[in-house]
Amino acid sequence: MKDRHPRRRWNLALIFLPLTCGVRLFGEVEALSREEVREYFSTPDPFDIEYPEDVEPDGAVVSLGKELFFDKLLSYNETQSCATCHNPDHGFSDGLRFSLGANGEALSRNTPHLYNLAWNVTYFWDGRSESLEAQALEPIRAEGEMNLPLDTLLERLRGETRYAALFKEAFGDSSVTLDRVGEAIASFERSIVVDDTPFDRYLRGDENAISAASKRGMALFVGKAACIKCHDGPNFTDNSYHNIGVTLTDGGRGSVVGDDTLTGAFKVPGLRNILYSSPYMHDGSLGTLEEVVRFYNQGGRHKEVANELIHPLKLTEDEIRDLVSFLGSLNQPYLVDRPDHRHSNSLVNSTHLK
């Protein structure tokens, strides 16, 4: 049987990785060797995706999930869809520090991106959901977000002829259930995969796919900056939780599991397509990747609560630029054809407002 949480295990070789890796005696950073690159990095493997019941979804299920993801019927006043906050034009985030719910009020955390969730093991910044199917339904019913009771959701979808046909194509009959809604949306979200970045082409042997600055940044990522202690694996996350000294006001993971040692700890985000999903951190307080690198370089903001992994890095200005360059190599344009919902979701007769 597969380990259900393979990325939760620490790689001891990474924990005790010498900070001089990739650095010359006189401070000049050199690129990693091909052997070191293969040791530390890889491209996401679709065979590692753990589907529910170990069955890859049919294309019709993914298509149904895409329709639901972009449909404003899923919010109480039909003003928002999942894509309002997870907008593919903004890296499946929305470019705001705090997204606005259907009632117009700001949420308390920044909207995370959705890239490569197929390999995740927990969801939300605080990891309160252990399945993508459960996560898909949570924002729909959350009062501060889309604010739609799930029984009303079912009533609306059952009243749409087009969904009867789509559910039948996806599941064999037209029955609309919460399990099927969650499965469909999660299946679409799992299909959002980034695995052909300049960095991946470099891994496959194209020496010119990334710049010399990016190669130096990669050495810093593994060595002096030690980013890889948390941002490891094919998706640059170990799915762990850390308090990195961003804020003092949000309990984070500790509030979910009742563990004071995890107070203020949040999930390590994956870094693929990270360029497109600014602003950064769970509170959206950092607007650029350079600001993020400088945050870590100074040892966090609230050093009194940050864990032992957070300390001043003593990166030079050139090294900061090289590290940002490497992060830029992890990006791949991802285009989505949006479904046309102009024929529905009209509030003229307010039949859906309940």
- pLDDT for 321 equals 98
Cβ–Cβ under 8 Å, residues 203 and 22: no
Residue 241's SS3 state is: strand
State the Cα–Cα distance between residues 29 and 216, nearest whole angstrom: 6
And the tokens for 281? 């951190």
Q: Which residues contact 36 (CB under 8 A, 6 or more apart)?
A: 21, 22, 222
- pLDDT for 156 equals 98
Place of tokens 């948390």: 230
pLDDT at 21 over 70: no
Read off the pLDDT band of 29 (50, 70, 90).
Answer: low
Residue 107's SS3 state is: coil
State the Cα–Cα distance between residues 120 and 8, nearest whole angstrom: 10
- pLDDT for 18 equals 39
Read off the pLDDT band of 34 (50, 70, 90).
Answer: confident
Burial 7-34 (b: 16+ CB within 10 A, else e): beeeeeebeebeeebbbeeeeebebbee
User: What is the identity of the amino acid at 321?
Assistant: R
DSSP structural state of residue 100: B
**pLDDT single digits (tens) 267-282:** 999 999 999 999 999 9
- pLDDT for 35 equals 85
- pLDDT for 2 equals 38
**How far from each other are the two terminal CA atoms of the chain, in whole angstroms?**
46
Burial 328-349 (b: 16+ CB within 10 A, else e): bbbbbebebeeeeeeebbeeee
Give CA angle at 195 (276, 180), nearest 5°: 85
Helix (H), strand (E) at residue 321: helix 317-328
- Identify the residue with better confidence: 157 or 347: 157
What domains lie within the chain, and their CATH numbers? Answer: 6-48+195-328 (1.10.760.10), 52-190 (1.10.760.10)
- pLDDT for 203 equals 95
- pLDDT for 342 equals 67
Picking from 13-27, 45-59, 264-278, which range would have the lowest pLDDT averaged per residue?
Answer: 13-27
**pLDDT single digits (tens) 132-189:** 999 999 999 999 999 999 999 999 999 999 999 999 999 999 999 999 999 999 999 9
- pLDDT for 33 equals 85
**pLDDT single digits (tens) 223-257:** 999 999 999 999 999 999 999 999 999 999 999 99
pLDDT at 127 over 50: yes
| Average pLDDT of the chain to the nearest whole number | 89
**pLDDT single digits (tens) 299-321:** 999 999 999 999 999 999 999 99
- pLDDT for 28 equals 53
State the Cα–Cα distance between residues 256 and 123, nearest whole angstrom: 12
**CA dihedral of residues 245, 251, 257, 258 (deg, nearest 10):** 110
Read off the pLDDT band of 30 (50, 70, 90).
Answer: low
State the Cα–Cα distance between residues 248 and 246, nearest whole angstrom: 7
Residues across the chain? 354
Number of H helices, E strands in the chain: 13, 2
When pLDDT is averaged across residues 194-220 and rounded to a whole number, the result is 96
